[in-house]
Structure 1
């Protein structure tokens, strides 16, 4: 798939699941559960166990069923290793022009973390495809609404503090998708291998995205 097609899939999904330090033995059943619930954009943080090999294995196994990216990418070296492993997007908590550049050079979606309008414009200007509003809990959904007038041309994905109660509001106020970590990737349910419980959580988030879009 091309980067444009990948971007379309990311926006259609509305949910980016943030998988941080999930035990390797639980990773594949977790991803299968999320994909079965319609959450098919998955960010594996590079501080996870065997992260780059896991990205490669997930890409090989799920092929076109899911969009697999790397998260918490802070350096060019991490971005390069992730892309070499098959990452289809690079998600960062901060904005580093060199990380954006390596993603653009390799034709991979770049999603740097920003908070201020100045950071958003700078990131977009150097080639970021989407910006990650982080931490979203610090600003709330109305902040995205206020940005839509001057900066609505820049796709935004709020992350950090997004939960099932505010997802629809973030989407309604301009987010193209939301990044969701602990409020979806419940460690207790994973330990218990309660895949049905996790699927219900994922479906609830998808429902809220639909509400935010007026579905």
Structure 2
């Protein structure tokens, strides 16, 4: 688990793949890879998500591949069995955290308030996900870390080229980015170069 945490914090950008159908998954991930992305998350509400996770791991063994929208123990176990190296959830569920920790798999539960954040930490979460971040100012992160400096925070939801740098500067160790990199419009148009170029822009921000 420590290795995965360190790699996420090194790369800082997690590209979230939430799409209507997964037939183009190789082209999508290929574009992300060319753009410098090395950490991806396939949401479990993407069709054939478990197969997509297996495929990405096989084609790009040096990428960190996680599962997102993990809502319960059952989906967490299926994701782990499919090869997911980390799990992201939009919610806080104690049993799901316990299961992930049992298998030494990083789980990043979704929280919003200071109470939820500390509860997740006390449940054993090594990293938490502030979601939806678009509802908050980036300063919320530094405000939260003031009394709770032990929190390792990923911001997800509404992260864009306009606010990514500020979220990082205010104390986020990583950012989960969805439609600002991978969206159904570009996929339907087969505009994979756009995905590659957007990935490059976020990777450059992370390097600053």
Counterparts of residues 1-215 of structure 1 (less than 5 Å): 3-63=1-61, 65-210=62-207, 215=208
Once residues 156 and 173 of structure 2 are traced to their aligned partners in structure 1, the CA distance between those partners, rounded to angstroms, is 12
Where do 5+ consecutive residues of structure 1 fail to align? none
**Higher relative contact order, structure no. (Cα contacts within 8 Å, ≥ 6 residues apart):** 2
Name whichever of 186-195 and 174-183 sits farther off: 186-195
CA deviations over 1:58-112 (Å, ceiling 9, x no partner): 222212x211011001010000000011111110000000111111001111100
CA deviations over 1:24-74 (Å, ceiling 9, x no partner): 2211111111122121111101111111122122222212x2110110010
Name whichever of 168-177 and 14-23 sits farther off: 14-23
| Number of positions where the alignment pairs a residue of Structure 1 with one of Structure 2 | 208
Q: Secondary structure at the match of 1:184?
A: coil
Give me the TM-score of the superposition, normalised by structure 1: 0.93
Give me the TM-score of the superposition, normalised by structure 2: 0.96
Considering fraction of residues, name the structure with more helix: 1
State the Cα RMSD in Å: 1.1
Once residues 86 and 126 of structure 2 are traced to their aligned partners in structure 1, the CA distance between those partners, rounded to angstroms, is 10
Q: Secondary structure at the match of 2:14?
A: strand
